[in-house]
Amino acid sequence: MRLVNDTPYESRLLRSETPSGRMMAALVVRATYRIDAHGALARIAADEAPAWAGIRDDGVEHEAGALLPEPTLPRSGADVMLVGGVPGEGRRRAELRARVGPYHLALTITGARRWERGVRGGLQPSRPEPFARVALRPQEAFGGAAAGTYGPTPYPRNPAGRGYYLAASEARDAPLPSVEWAGEEVQAWDDRPEPAVVGPYPQAWWSRLERVWVADAAQETIRLDPAGGPFDLAHPRLSGRPIPDRAPLTIDGAGPPVRARLPACPARVTWILGDAACPRALAIDEVIVDLDARVVALAWRKIVQYEYVRHQERRAIVEENAEETAA
């Protein structure tokens, strides 16, 4: 399969083989948009976009975590990731709300706190410190490694975070998380909430693994469940659902409000397999919103399976979608 790209958009053709022996090709198209002063989206050229926003042939390190290379195999839906930071402007607490199509996200952002002894005994959170900015990264969410009997014991849902302790004596004077799901904030030192990791979520962390690997007690086996999203790159709360064209994008609590609609794919693909020409639309595969840069990076994908025929002409022709470009 050969890629022919006649558009200004970055694209890549990823090739693989299915267990049945059929060939599989995944076409990825990427475009980046800036959020303008009115909260709308305006496309920017690929060479003006942040390095992490383009085609990822290799992994990209980001403040929010590692962005893995483009997955060849399909995700369970569209991944949504928020990166950057939430401005505090001297506040002690803030709230971030966002909607990306079917995904609704609400976070509580809190300045630095520690567990301190309460007037009635026990531990209580200290008053939050004023903050200038809190980054949306795993280190600010609940998790970390507790001081176990035989050495550090990582919290499997987020070993990079903070706030996970196995004893009250360990928790005293120790920090709490600054980024939490609204309504699920830590109340006691031994709470075990779901970490609010809204950027890249490593596939080896437990919130993903528990959906991918299913134990069958009767058969005493563990099987892989593709519906759990083994190739998804976002937190399970922000993955697994399709995002339709023109879906709403709204953000409140991180600078000027955003009121926009995600664009439809500005390109289309025609698969050439021998004498057959099959035009196909692409679906949204990934949405990354950078709150600092006020940038939205979008990826679209289309997968095709086909039988290998020796000497057959096979091409993926990417052309501009004139109707969407004009819109």
What would the mean pLDDT of 138-142 be, rounded to a whole number? 98
For all residues of the chain together, what is the average pLDDT?
93
Q: Tens digit of pLDDT for each residue in 18-67?
A: 888 899 999 999 999 999 888 889 999 988 999 899 999 999 999 999 99
Please state, in angstroms and rounded to a whole number, the distance separating the CA atoms of residues 62 and 306: 36
The pLDDT-based confidence of 326 (bands split at 50, 70, 90) is very low
Q: Tens digit of pLDDT for each residue in 184-229?
A: 999 999 999 999 999 999 999 999 999 999 887 787 788 888 889 9
Share of the chain above pLDDT 90, in %: 81
Q: What is the pTM (predicted TM-score) of this model?
A: 0.94
Q: What pLDDT does 180 receive?
A: 98
> For residue 176, is pLDDT > 70?
yes
Q: Tens digit of pLDDT for each residue in 7-17?
A: 999 999 999 88
Q: What pLDDT does 254 receive?
A: 94
Share of the chain above pLDDT 70, in %: 98
Q: What pLDDT does 323 receive?
A: 60
Q: What pLDDT does 175 receive?
A: 98
Amino acid at 219: Q
Q: CA of 46: how far to CAs of 8, 51, 214, 241, 249, in Å?
A: 8, 9, 41, 27, 21
Q: Concatenated DSSP letters for 57-95?
A: SS-EEETTEEEPPPPSSPPSSBEEEEESEEE-TT-SEEE
> For residue 113, is pLDDT > 80?
yes
Amino acid at 223: R
Please state, in angstroms and rounded to a whole number, the distance separating the CA atoms of residues 306 and 315: 12
